[in-house]
Structures are given as structure tokens and as C-alpha cells.
């Protein structure tokens, strides 16, 4: 049986509402969005509004030109999305290293563009 024309549904739930939003658009994280507190707050907001699907664009490490669409790995996460504060709180890095990382003094609000070069520098400093 060809099911390609059937709508995608969650069993027992019918249709769901969803949002397409890349983590770099989330506020409250230095340099670019992360899977730390900004993502947790976003998920709570989605749940409060009965939005059941968060769709994202590619999250893979970018190629040398910055594109995640031709990443060297389709299975890896771009390390720039790791949350430095969570890593420090869990003991993977020191709080001093986090405070000294590039972008530590970046404003958490009012950013108009994501500085991907700074995100890469920050990741490399914390690695």
C-alpha cells in the first residue's frame, strides 16, 4: 500500500502544529543559539501553546564555506550549539575557561546577526 499521499500524524493525536526555527534564532545565548537554557525555554513555550513539533534546519558541522548542507558529517552536531554554561555546570569545562572564551561579553539581546566566525572561535577555545 502506497502511503506517500497520507498526511503525517502522531498516532492517537491527529494533526500537530509545528514551528520551523533554527537554534541560531533563539535569544539569550552568547554568539549563537544553543541547546542549553534558550532551547529549554523555547520548548516550554511550545508546550504551553500546544505546539507539538519543532522542526530545525541542518545542525551538522558546516563545511569550509560555512554551509551545513554539505557537511563532512551527517551524523555529528555542530559543536557551536553546545551550551557553554551547561558544560561548565556539569564539570566538562571550568567556569574560568567559559568566562575567558571569545564572545563571553557578547550581548544576550538585541543581536541582529549571528557571528558564525565568533561562534567557531568560541567553540575552539572551549574544546
* Partners of 18 in beta bridges: 53
Residue 65 has pLDDT above 60, yes or no: yes
Burial of 123 (0-12, 13-18, 19+ CB in 10 A): buried
Instruction: Average the pLDDT over 96-119 and give the result.
Output: 71
- E-assigned strands of the chain? 18-20, 53-55
Q: What is the mean pLDDT of the chain?
A: 80
Q: Which one of 1-15, 64-78, 102-116 scores highest in mean pLDDT? A: 64-78
Cell matching residue 58:
541542518
Pairwise CA distance, residues 126 & 15, whole Å: 42
Under a CB-based contact definition with an 8 Å cutoff, are residues 53 and 4 in contact? no
DSSP string of 56-73, one letter each residue? ----SPP-TTS-GGG-S-
Q: Where are the domains of the chain?
A: 18-126
The backbone region for 50, taken as left when phi is positive above 0, alpha when psi lies in -120 to 50, beta otherwise, is: left
Average pLDDT, integer, range 9-27:
78
Amino acid at each position: 500500500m502506497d502511503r506517500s499521499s497520507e498526511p503525517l500524524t502522531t498516532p492517537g493525536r491527529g494533526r500537530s502544529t509545528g514551528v520551523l526555527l533554527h537554534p541560531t534564532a533563539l535569544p539569550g545565548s552568547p554568539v549563537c543559539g544553543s541547546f542549553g537554557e534558550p532551547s529549554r525555554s523555547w520548548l516550554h513555550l511550545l508546550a504551553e501553546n500546544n505546539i507539538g513539533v519543532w522542526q530545525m534546519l541542518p545542525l551538522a558541522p558546516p563545511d569550509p564555506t560555512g554551509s551545513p548542507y554539505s557537511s563532512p558529517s551527517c551524523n555529528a552536531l555542530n559543536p557551536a550549539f553546545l551550551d557553554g554554561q551547561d558544560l561548565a555546570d556539569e564539570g566538562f569545562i571550568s567556569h574560568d575557561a567559559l568566562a575567558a572564551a571569545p564572545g563571553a561579553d557578547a550581548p544576550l539581546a538585541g543581536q541582529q546577526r549571528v557571528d558564525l566566525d565568533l561562534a567557531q572561535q568560541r567553540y575552539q577555545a572551549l574544546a
